[in-house]
Amino acid sequence: MIRFVFGVFRGYLPGVPETRNISKDDLEALSIEILSRRGVPPEDAATTARTQVHADLRGVHSHGARALVGYSQQLESGTTNPAPEIQVLAEGAAYVHLDGDSGLGQVTSNNAMSRAIEKAKQSGIGFALVRNSNHYGAAAYYAIRAAESGTVGFNCTGGRKLSGNMAAFGSVEPVLGNYPLAYGIPAGKERPVVLDMATGVVAAGKVGMARSRGESIPESWALTKEGLPTTDPTQASIILPLGPKGSGLSIVMNMIGGILGGAGMDDPERFGHFFIAIDVAAFGDPDTFKAEIDERITSIREAKPAPGVDRVFYPGEPEWLTYDRYIGEGIPMLASHLDDLEALAS
């Protein structure tokens, strides 16, 4: 049996779930081991592991390595193809349409964003549409990849099913998916601006994290399967939308992230993804653009805080601060999640 050793123990106080610190490299190695044992080729396993662990580094554990438990089940059952052959369905100077061959969403999505960035460098803007894919993890990862390449990035995802895990505004029936969207904007001396948001009040994974921690959830987060408000994450079945705006965004993200590219055309369980990269250099001097982004960040950060607020952050800044801390100290993971991952790797 392979056993990974994870730092110091924490969280022995009564009622506080035990956590253990694990380094980025160890968590990636563990993730790669899990995926490799389920037939995922080395390069694809590394790509998926890197994508998932990046979410943990940003403190977004709902979309981190813990998701490999579900991915592993899908790989074992055959509903996810461990070694997809990504096919180009159509291509032009500024766009490409890909078929993900039922593979891991992270594999297809990293391929698609790379192509969008490459086309943006050639044409000023690049689009990539994906069909026949699966859950792609945290949307922020792809937006950050674009920003770090000197392009403005956007991505979203969607499916084709007429039911989901989120209610439409004014309804208690889950007819929408809690589809995310993310923007990444390059800066100069500052870290990229990153807006990654679910269209629900909260991502379903955060309800799952509350369930794992034995915590209650706000009544505004979710409904039971009967459509009743609940603070019990074990009873939460339907995510509530982020008001009428979140409901509307979910509908639109589904249409351009899913239906436009043909998501679920062959299998309603499959997802589609939509990626855009805009080359800053095609529209002006990149250094001037980045300097102005830095100035805007400074003005936001120095804005007078409301009573009870220590300081104001720009989008993505709290996650960057977490990232820097976890790179140095290790990632605090729930011990139960690490035990699950270790069992999968053994």
Token digits of residue 43: 């390069």
C-beta atoms surrounding 299 within 10 Å: 11
Number of separate domains in the chain: 3
My answer on whether 112 and 43 are in the same domain is: no
My answer on whether 304 and 217 are in the same domain is: no
My answer on whether 130 and 90 are in the same domain is: yes
My answer on whether 41 and 135 are in the same domain is: no
Residue at token pair 């007078």 = 304
> CATH number for the domain including 216?
3.30.60
Is 30 in contact with 339 (CB distance < 8 Å)? no
My answer on whether 157 and 192 are in the same domain is: yes
My answer on whether 9 and 104 are in the same domain is: no
My answer on whether 73 and 39 are in the same domain is: yes
- DSSP character at residue 17: P
Q: pLDDT tens digits, residue range 39-48? A: 999 999 999 9
My answer on whether 214 and 339 are in the same domain is: no
Q: pLDDT tens digits, residue range 69-116? A: 999 999 999 999 999 999 999 999 999 999 999 999 999 999 999 999
Q: pLDDT tens digits, residue range 15-56? A: 557 899 999 999 999 999 999 999 999 999 999 999 999 999
| 280 Cβ contact list (under 8 Å, min separation 6) | 150, 151, 152, 186, 286, 289, 290
My answer on whether 160 and 216 are in the same domain is: no
> CATH number for the domain including 18?
1.10.1530.10
CA-to-CA distance for 182 and 154, rounded, in angstroms? 6
My answer on whether 337 and 320 are in the same domain is: no
> CATH number for the domain including 252?
3.30.1370.60
Enclosing domain of residue 234: 209-240
| 37 Cβ contact list (under 8 Å, min separation 6) | 344, 345
Give yes or no for residue 2 having a pLDDT over 50.
Answer: no
Q: pLDDT tens digits, residue range 318-335? A: 999 999 999 999 999 999
My answer on whether 100 and 225 are in the same domain is: no
My answer on whether 2 and 40 are in the same domain is: yes
pLDDT for position 85: 98
